[in-house]
Amino acid sequence: MSRIFILNGPNLNLLGTREPSIYGTTTLAEIEAGLKAMADRAGAEIAFAQSNHEGVLVDLVQEKRDWADVFIVNAGAYTHTSVALRDALAATGKRLIEVHLSNVHRREAFRRHSYLSEIAEGVMAGFGPHVYRLALEYVLIKAERATP
Ligand code: CA2
């Protein structure tokens, strides 16, 4: 059975309440409820966390290091700045899928570099809240194929 940890970084707790033209109108709670239903249907275990603090994100990754098979992470602005979060994720030795609601490549130049992409199995960006569902679907399909 797959164990998937969905981790969101700074300001993503505001989803659905501000800047809908960039980040949409779906709240983080709604996204998480949809992912939980998907995981339940597939018989997978899923856990969620969000923090606005870099060190707390590192702590959360370390706490879930043994439990999780796969990390699906939207590190928010820390994507572009945090060596600490990258090191924590790399140290887990577990799979990482990086997601972004917005297409970071058609925004400001500083958003084009990610400290996480080099250690990620894949990156999904620009499809709004669907990126979480698409990433989870990929993980679940792969897990199903790997099951004898
Ligand atoms: O597109 C993404 O998912 C980002 O990770 C979002 C980050 C941004 O710094 C990254 O470059 C790309 C920002 C998250 C801000 O979330 C908000 C949500 C609602 C209202 C305001 C901010």
Nearest to 135 by CA among 147, 118, 123, 117: 123
What is the reported pTM? 0.97
pLDDT score recorded for residue 19: 87
pLDDT at 148 over 80: no
pLDDT at 21 over 90: no
pLDDT score recorded for residue 25: 93
pLDDT at 120 over 70: yes
Domain residue spans of the chain: 3-146
Nearest to 47 by CA among 2, 97, 93: 2
Nearest to 72 by CA among 111, 113, 44, 108: 44
**Which fold would CATH assign to domain 3-146?**
Rossmann fold (3.40.50)
| pLDDT averaged over every residue in the chain | 96
pLDDT score recorded for residue 146: 85
Ligand 1: which residues within 6 Å by Cβ?
11-12, 14-15, 18-19, 23, 74, 76-77, 79, 100-102, 104, 111
pLDDT at 2 over 70: yes
- The residue whose CA is least distant from atom 6 of ligand 1 is 76
